[in-house]
Chain A
Amino acid sequence: MSLIDLQEPASPVPSRRLGLARSRLRGLVDVRRGGILLPFVALFIALSATSGPFLTKANLLNIVDQQASTLIPAAAATLVLVSGGIDLSIGAVYGLAGVTAAHLALVTNPVIAWVAGVGVGLLVGLVNGFVATVARINALIATLATSYVVSGISSLATGGNIITDFNRHSFNDLAGTSLFTVRTSTWVTLVVVVVLAFLLARSTLGRYMYAAGGNAEAARLAGVRVHKVQIIAFALSGTAAALGGVIDTSRVLSAQSSSGADLAFTVLAGVVVGGTSILGGVGSVWRSVVGVLFIALIGNGFDLLGLDPLYEQISLGVLLILAVGLDAWTRLRRA
């Protein structure tokens, strides 16, 4: 629950007890606020009831660990969406970071390889940020363009081959080591998610992100450096995408330029299903986490129950429409 509490940065205690009870009630009724949590819990309970192996520590930890490379970029992508942008280059950056790290791991110390992989993402993120703000090119187009360029660079670097690091065992440490019976990749995910959630909900930078995405003109006139804030969001998104790529490369000890092709869409789907608005100014990191895990649970459920995976895609599509529709509907109601 602690992640959820981050949502309300400054909710003062209502003076009367009646007021408190009322506002609690409203919180429950408000679809947008509770939003994804209810379906998530319902699905969780349903799966626990219908599938024996579902509610085991191994299965649950496995789900989270497999989602590491989605959760980390999703947390950062939330910041981009909230501040009024969108990042379609996540998958391409993920690929390039993996390739870079794997390539360097062949010749140098794994730590340098990891850092360089992540650094590449930071660099691409900064470029995205500048193009989308200072150069005033629509973020959708800007990041689509960089994603082509970045994928191209990855392909050039690998010559279309798979790089394998099977004889570099220490490179596996990032994803493979266990700490208190939980894998390091899961720990890294936890730390990144908590830090980003905190940043968005409690920091001045986070407030400025909401302002930039909610009403850029008002934010600018109120003295917010809108471009700077958005560039930071893009930079974090690039970095996070790269971290996801490096973690996965470390896990499987191989990398190829084409991995991560769908990642941008998977990440965005998770974020939007969570309830963060693609129109900016509304959303939070915990929502994206629940959104991503919700989609993962659906996948896991299909596996465990032995259903045709084709239906998984269909249900994901329907879910997306519902999530975006709900966002539009609540906005309309409020206006």
Chain B
Amino acid sequence: MHRVVPPAPHVELRGISKQFGGVRALRSVSLQIRAGTVHALVGENGAGKSTLGKVISGVLAPDSGEMQLSGTPVAFRSPRHALEHGVATIAQELAIVPELTAAENVFLGAEPRRAGYVRRRDLSERYHALCEHVGFAVPAHQLAGRLRTADQQKLEILRAVARDAALIIMDEPSAALTREETLHLHEAICSLRARGCTVVLVSHFLREVLELADAITVLRDGAVVRTSLASEESESTLIEAMLGRSLDGTFPPKSPPGADAPVRLAVEWLSAPGVRDATFAVRAGEIVGLAGLVGAGRSELVHAIVGARRAHAGSVAIDGRRATRRSPRRMLREGVVMIPESRKEQGLLLERSVAENTALSTLASLSRLGLVRAGRERKVVTEVLAKVAVRPARPEAPAGALSGGNQQKLLFARALLCQPAVLIADEPTRGVDVGARRSIYDLVVELAGQGLGVLLVSSDVEEVLGLSHRVLVMRGGEIVRELDGMVATEHEVLEAAFTARGVS
């Protein structure tokens, strides 16, 4: 197939640099994005992908360098200004108005109106037309705040399309999506491209990138390693360009616990809002994967176990001790630590320092007479941050200044400090790059090797299968199937997740 090469690229960057305090996020980045193509940006966590996206979309002003849009030099003052030039962005951290409905969010600021009143009928008609056009459906009248992350993200895509954007920047759009939703997203991206729209796609899923993108730019430490056609790259060439080294396999080898390993976490007939009669056990050294579609009740189950959500029936026991009146704090004492699903809403204090965030759950052990022992805290935090490889290693920087993947690693570091008996990780590698992902996997396996029980919740079926010794599949709030992680296939997991209550 021959692509007609257009005269001027849609976007041309020349020597763009951007510095945050001491961190050089972008170093003289030059690159061309052709109109009507999907152009992927890949690189490790903190490589500068989001920063580059923000520069293109007017969120950040570069320190130096110039940008041309279809041959004309531009300097966007704000995202709004960029939008006027047809550049829209779907951020890594979503921006929706929770109190408005889905449709209202999509047309926010561009509502069909007459004499200052929003015309609801027009609004919902246009909304449905738009949904049909891109091929997703999000209930129009649902409050956006009640929607799942995946649906909120779709709203953002719809919003960009509704604004007639010619260039849409998507920062890790599939990070929080299930497989099925990801497929929808891919279709949407392809249909955008078919309409002549240019898409800049930031993603850590290399397979997705290779499948969708026309061109790929690899970034490392803020500089461009190379830009090439997707057809000339493979997963391993990309990994090598990103990391500067190759990786041996995505997952570490599995070593299931012996048959006599004691039970660390025992859950019996646990029922809570969104969860019914969950019964299962995790033994010492065992990694149990919890798979299912978004909305199947996995996070709800996990929250009920640690007492973040009130259970109305059932019991939870740690090392044989029954834990009654559970709360996240009491369960921490019992040795159960949970890494929550959403780092921004449930995990981090974005304004506070990395050190403070890391030490939050174990502060009591780092203090004497109610006063924090700053020296000890610094030492402990620095050690654990090095262990999970948070970069840049600046404990005093605000957590909000870390790149998305590094924020995730920070939460892992916090959990490690708790020295748990049971680790519950809800989407532990969301937004984490391939290299760091592997180091988190290694860490999980190492922890299990030390005798922890690990419960791993993930929307990434491959990840669940790659790590788990046993896989539980949830559907409609119930655990519908248990599979042997050593032999189970993706097909089996998906089948169980989709079909009605199965008997295995």
Which residues in A have some Cβ–Cβ distance to B below 8 Å?
8-12, 19, 22-23, 26, 202-205, 207-208, 210-211, 214-215, 217-225, 281-282, 334
Contacts and interface: CB of A to CB of B under 8 A. Distances in A.
Contacts of A223: 328-329, 332, 360-361
A23 B400 contact: no
Contacts of A9: 356, 372, 374
B22 A19 contact: yes
Given A204-B372, A214-B351, A26 B21 contact: yes
Contacts of A211: 349, 352, 360
Contacts of A215: 345, 348-350
Nearest to A10: B374
A202 B371 contact: yes
29 contacts: A9-B372, A9-B374, A10-B356, A10-B377, A10-B395, A12-B396, A26-B21, A202-B372, A203-B370, A203-B372, A204-B367, A205-B370, A207-B356, A210-B349, A211-B349, A214-B352, A215-B345, A215-B350, A217-B345, A218-B346, A219-B360, A221-B308, A222-B328, A222-B360, A222-B361, A222-B414, A223-B360, A225-B329, A334-B400
Nearest to B396: A11
Interface in B117-164: none
A204 B366 CA distance: 9
B348 A218 contact: yes
Nearest to A208: B363
- Interface of B, helix, strand, loop or mixed by DSSP: helix
Given A12-B378, A218-B346, A222-B414, A281 B360 contact: no
B329 A224 contact: yes
A220 B349 CA distance: 12
B202 interface: no
Contact of B340 (A8, A10, A221, A282): A221
Given A10-B353, A10-B378, A218-B347, A207 B340 contact: no
A278 to B, nearest CB: 14
A208 B349 CA distance: 11
Contacts of A23: 21-22
Nearest to B303: A221
A3 B55 CA distance: 39
A218 B400 contact: no
- Interface of A, helix, strand, loop or mixed by DSSP: helix
A10 B352 CA distance: 11
Contacts of B396: 8, 10-12
Contacts of B329: 223-225
Interface of B: 21-22, 306, 308, 328-329, 332, 338, 340, 345-353, 355-356, 359-361, 363-364, 367, 370-372, 374, 377-378, 382, 395-396, 400, 414
A26 B396 CA distance: 13
Nearest to B378: A12
B234 to A, nearest CB: 38
Contact of A204 (B22, B370, B378, B400): B370
A223 B340 CA distance: 12
A155 to B, nearest CB: 39
A10 B355 contact: yes
B139 to A, nearest CB: 25
A224 to B, nearest CB: 7
B363 A282 contact: no
Contacts of A8: 396
Nearest to A280: B351
Given A203-B371, A204-B363, A221-B306, 11 more contacts: A9-B374, A10-B374, A202-B374, A210-B352, A211-B352, A217-B345, A218-B340, A220-B328, A221-B328, A223-B360, A334-B351
A204 B348 contact: no
A205 B371 CA distance: 8
Which of A11, A22, A26, A207 counts the most B-chain CB atoms under 10 A from its CB? A207
A301 to B, nearest CB: 34
A202 B363 CA distance: 11
B349 A281 contact: yes
Contacts of B370: 203-205
A165 to B, nearest CB: 38
Shortest 5 CB-CB contacts between residues of A and residues of B:
A214-B349, A223-B329, A223-B332, A10-B374, A222-B360
A334 B402 CA distance: 12
B364 A204 contact: yes
A204 B365 CA distance: 10
B360 A220 contact: no
Contacts of A12: 355, 378, 382, 395-396
B391 to A, nearest CB: 15
A85 B396 CA distance: 26
